[in-house]
Amino acid sequence: MQMADWATTTSYFCIKHSERFADGNIHTNTIEGFWSLLKRAYVGQHHHYDEKYLPLYVAETAYKYNRRDIEPKPNFESSISLMVAL
């Protein structure tokens, strides 16, 4: 998907923190949590992000973030099954 396609198919909103911090289900907590996880991986796991591989580090963090509510064992098994054709 090209960036122009993404921009036309994705809804995005703006929060003016000078007025309020949330508007119903629209808030910045999700992206702040994601960046926190990415920064924590940088400090604790990877220690360095090579610019060449930065999209892969972000993709790994997005995968982990999107599956954070899944039980550990099924998450591990599904990850292995994606890597190895069973």
Per residue in 17-75, pLDDT (tens digit) is: 788 777 777 777 778 888 888 888 888 877 778 888 888 888 888 888 888 787 766 77
Q: What is the pLDDT, as a whole number, of residue 76?
A: 76
Q: What is the pLDDT, as a whole number, of residue 1?
A: 46
Token couple for 75: 């998450």
State residue 27 phi and psi, 5-degree precision: -160, 175
Domain ranges of the chain: 3-83
Token couple for 32: 């702040």
Is 60 exceeded by the pLDDT of residue 6?
no
Does the reported pTM lie above 0.85?
no
